[in-house]
Amino acid sequence: MRRSTDRILTTHAGSLPRPARLTELFATRADGGAIDEAELDRLADQAVRDIVPKQIAAGIDVGNNGEQPREAFFLYLRRRLTGFGGKGTRAPQRDVTLYPDFMEMRARATASRPAVSNMAPPKVIGAIRYLDKALVEAECAQFAAAVAAQPANARFVENFMTAPSPGIVAAAIPNEHYDTMERYVDAVAAALAVEYHAIVDAGFVLQIDAPDLAMERHFLFADRPLSDFIGFMEMVIAAINKALGSIPRDRVRLHVCWGNYEGPHDCDVALADIIAPLGQARAGALMMPLANPRHAHEHRCFHGKLADDQILIAGVIDTTTNYIEHPEVVADRLELAARAVGDPTRVMAGTDCGFDTSAGMGRVAESVVWAKLAAMRDGAAIASGRLLKR
């Protein structure tokens, strides 16, 4: 994990807007329709080649493939793992159900977007195993080629790729095979170990996307005591650590959030309640949303809570609104994060979450996405001048 002593580096959470035609193909396939797989592969490859220079132009220092070849941040696994079939259901967020008029308004907005992928989860109906390591290796090679195509003096400072937490898979995909949640999580973790190791072996930093470690408090555990949710967190983190095996801690960053959706979020678990178990994860960086209005104050929670060798990737850009953050606002947020951590060289600027976590579901216009990332770059430069220039 790169630390910088002369400027605050910029990154993002992973998913970036996909081309319209690629999104349409993902949507058709997810709905069970026939598509030209060769066309999808060709469009995905071109999208990766296009997304790399766009990130560099916007000022991203630590970038990825934008998750362009994936239909969604974890449901792409139904094409890489055995054991999935049929259609499952997912309970709505507790905070959304408390406001029926908002729930209706959101449903109308979603229905008006016909290209949105069908992200209803499957079910687990058999043993989970990784199908073919070549699948993730090909995605890594595709990204590496897109990076290599850039001029040597205009490349990322560091490259990362994402893979989901076993906990989000187990929480969101109904289980009809394993007799306990722990066995289900362990099976998913064992399969995901293939992806984790392949990403690091390809020379990339591994980002584990774990919204389950905060969001499931108001999903799966909405009607249960906080202690039950903390137990779930500890079980998932133990499974992640086991799956990481010999991967060095400084090659792993953990992204945790309360759900990448515009909503009340007044049922979100407080960061103070979960930061201790998060500290059990063997990750060199913790990426947390600190831009959205429900959690912006929680930078205080990091005082003395990170290990001496850990980096905080502070979310300073909200991915659910078309407001373009002023660079001075970004700089202020980074200064607060640096003050909490106690060392500006251990802070990186990031986004709260991805901009298109499921193909077509992004709420921010593509041109605005790039303007927001550019504002993050400019704000990081301002903060760097205040915090790092001697």
Of the pLDDT bands very low, low, confident and very high (cuts 50, 70, 90), residue 108 is confident
The DSSP secondary-structure symbol of 75 reads G
Q: What is the mean pLDDT of residues 323-344?
A: 98
Do 306 and 312 touch, CB atoms closer than 8 A? yes
Closest CA to 294 of 109, 10, 12, 95: 95
Percent over 70 (pLDDT), the chain:
98
Q: Say if CB 15 and CB 356 are below 8 A apart.
A: yes
CA distance 131 to 144: 22
**What is the chain's alpha carbon radius of gyration, rounded to the nearest angstrom?**
20
Task: Tell me what pLDDT residue 119 has.
Answer: 66
Rounded to whole angstroms, the maximal C-alpha distance in the chain is 60
The DSSP line for 275-306 is HHHHTTS--SEEEEE-SSTTTGGGGGGGTTTS
Report the DSSP pairing between strands 158-164 and 62-63: parallel
Q: What is the mean pLDDT of residues 250-259?
A: 98
More confident residue, 115 or 212: 212
**How many Cα atoms are found within 13 Å in the side-chain-facing hemisphere of 232?**
27
Q: Is 194 strand, coil or helix?
A: helix
| pLDDT, mean of residues 248-272 | 97
Does the reported pTM lie above 0.85?
A: yes
- pLDDT average, residue stretch 269-298: 97
Domains and their CATH numbers in the chain: 20-387 (3.20.20.210)
Q: So what's the pLDDT on residue 220?
A: 95
* pLDDT in the model for residue 31: 85
Task: Check residue 107 and give its pLDDT.
Answer: 84
- Residue 116 — pLDDT band, cuts 50, 70, 90? low
pLDDT in tens, 22-32: 999 998 998 88
Find out whether 103 and 59 touch, Cβ atoms under 8 Å. no
Whether residue 254 is predicted with pLDDT greater than 60 in this model: the reply is yes
Residue 197's pLDDT band (cuts 50, 70, 90)? very high
pLDDT level of residue 118 (50, 70, 90 thresholds): low
Chain segment 168-195, per-residue pLDDT in tens: 999 999 999 999 999 999 999 999 999 9
